[in-house]
Structure 1
């Protein structure tokens, strides 16, 4: 009985592998990783150039941390993460690195991003009740919606970890009514993204 169960599990995994391979999930991941590497490297290059030839990044971040209250910065970031990820999270990670408590503010940023994703999810649900808005955004987010329907939770994981606007993935998840409880679990990887990126960014500033 155990052997049969094990065999069944293996065949299920094999079927999933074939499905993701056939639907292009692996090539999508590879392309996303390439796309993710470019903006991250560009951001680090800009930070390096500005810091060495234009102005001292460390001093600039210190000015920001003293001029703006942490609540204001977190509020701006939460708004950005709720509305299509307007501002790159890397800028806020750099801000956290120069704050009085880097790990605490990094965690608060990750929590704000996670909460912003939840807001985006419900924006997606709300859109389904507004036909004109739904039709407009469905065209603009057609690729995200199509991919979310195909790959579900795996796409949410990719959106949480890679520098793809997480808000778009969250809105698409809401539009197709992806399981909210599953969304909350997969989206927790947003925290991992912030901690991993901070390992590089904190050393650069």
Structure 2
């Protein structure tokens, strides 16, 4: 028997046990339960607006005609840097109506990624302001605890699922998570945008 394979298998088993005992799999299950309805709600709202309020294509065309691409992309960057106050799905729908959908979508994914990086350094900066740090330690207790337990995996979940990526990024910064690893797991944000675009582009 190859001892290297044995060691690798043993390590995987230990990791599996760790994630089981610490509740990671339960967390993923709960996150998915929340994510699917959230996605359906956003898509449903878009469809309702399209059929009963205003044609979505008309609204998107108005936005494209009256606002520059730079304005929209910078607005999205601001949103992604402060807890994702505007649903990314709306911007993804916009990108599908531009002259270069793939380029626009990639720019949006990049802005979301960069927004997460801003949030990461915001989290690091917060640790130097005792009063704010103590306040957020309480308000973000769950996020911080999960990031300490699961590190990169929780960042990957935040990047892929419709949960506040900025919150996950701030928590990673607050615990001084290794920045190079954060960049690696945070890059999964691109997958989320491309996957969502496959659905949204067909709907609108």
Question: TM-score over 0.5 for the alignment?
Answer: yes
**In the alignment, which residue of structure 1 is the partner of 2:140?**
141
**In the alignment, which residue of structure 2 is the partner of 1:193?**
192
Matches within 5 A, 1:2-17: 3-17=2-16
Q: Does 1:115 align with 2:114?
A: yes
Deviation string for 1:86-113 (max 9, x for gaps)?
Answer: 1111111011111111110000000000
Deviation string for 1:120-166 (max 9, x for gaps)?
Answer: 00000000000001011111111000000000000000000000110
**In the alignment, which residue of structure 1 is the partner of 2:129?**
130
Instruction: Tell me the secondary structure at the aligned position of residue 196 of structure 1.
Output: helix
Question: CA offset at residue 50 of structure 1?
Answer: 1.4
Matches within 5 A, 1:17-166: 17-166=16-165
Runs of at least 4 residues off by over 3 Å: none
Question: CA offset at residue 85 of structure 1?
Answer: 1.2
Q: CA RMSD in A?
A: 0.8
Question: CA offset at residue 39 of structure 1?
Answer: 1.2
Deviation string for 1:13-67 (max 9, x for gaps)?
Answer: 0000000011000010011011111111011111111111221100100100111
Instruction: Tell me the secondary structure at the aligned position of residue 52 of structure 1.
Output: helix
Distance 1:71 1:38 in 2: 32
Q: Which runs of 5+ in 2 are unaligned?
A: none
Distance 2:101 2:118 in 1: 25
Distance 2:52 2:125 in 1: 47
Instruction: Tell me the secondary structure at the aligned position of residue 40 of structure 1.
Output: helix
Per the normalisation by structure 1, the TM-score is: 0.98
Q: Which runs of 5+ in 1 are unaligned?
A: none
Per the normalisation by structure 2, the TM-score is: 0.98
Question: CA offset at residue 11 of structure 1?
Answer: 0.5
Q: How many pairs are equivalent? A: 204
